Chain A
Amino acid sequence: MYGWIWRHLPGNVWVRALISLLLVLAVIYVLFQYVFPWAEPLLPFNDVTVDNQ
């Protein structure tokens, strides 16, 4: 999977490394901004009230 991505990136090793880094950062951004905020309420840490459990 990662090898396939690496082979399909353009440019020499340095350009590919830079693009990979940007891709990784983009994935982390999407995770922190959208995916984790959605997943976190499914965990029990939000249950602090006595009425709506």
Chain B
Amino acid sequence: MDQTVDIRELNERIQRESSFIDIISMEMNKVIVGQKHLVESLLVGLLSGGHILLEGVPGLAKTLAINTLATSIDAKYARIQFTPDLLPADLLGTMIYSQKKEEFIVKKGPIFTNFVLADEINRAPAKVQSALLEAMQERQITIGETTYKLQEPFLVMATQNPIEQEGTYPLPEAQVDRFMLKVVIKYPSKDEEKLIIQQNLLKTFPTASKVMRPEDILKARDVVKDVYMDEKIQKYIVDIVFATRDPKAYKLDKYVDMISYGGSPRASISLAQAAKAYAFIKRRGYVIPEDVRAVCMDVMRHRIGLSYEAEANNITSEEIIAEILNTVEVP
């Protein structure tokens, strides 16, 4: 831990470097009404290099959100509709024989882009999910004997439809863990919905302007890494994650039988990275407990395994996380 960091200088730097956040937010708000939390989560994922799993009923602007983000950053964007007959090669690419050249040439798949929207990821079989999640983790793809680095920034946003379970392949726990955030999208409010109608009745639908380049995002990511996180905040993060593993030690005896497994060390890392990114979005050079609490639900909700007892009692992971946040002492 760098103890000689100058917070004042860092704060000023972050104030300077994070000015684009307001511009991106503005551009996205031009197109997407409401969904402030979704926009914030997209930015957290983008700045901390974490992938996002979106869950929400159809029609909540999931695709539009990522499309708008890609447009405003001037980045390449691909949407892949996951279906039961999709093959890994359809996603990653394959080698095809060129009669002209009389040799096998590489045909890259749609994953070679900056932003990937993996729509309805749970409709594809495990081997396709696995191929995507491996690419997410390694940020490189091997086709034949050649390994290709994926271009940065590389952000995968996968969507899951929670209402249709028939004919789906739910993501295994180990693979869900690779998504930094799982964002649950709610319906807009009445006023927001009224605005959505008005916007869609206009002759021309608003579009986002290109306000950033992918290189700017990479630069911002470096700055996010410099955001100061005190040891007290690190201890707070560890306490939260440990409370999911050993609720009894945190006076949460009622959840002992409800949790089958708690957050992994990857959860601690993700929580710290997401909290830093959130502090950056809030244009601060240091992390405060509010930042941890703001991202905790999205980082932890898919990392807690619920027991049959919890499911029988209709206890959700969100409920457990809320209780943990209300019990673990804030530094």
Partners in one complex: no
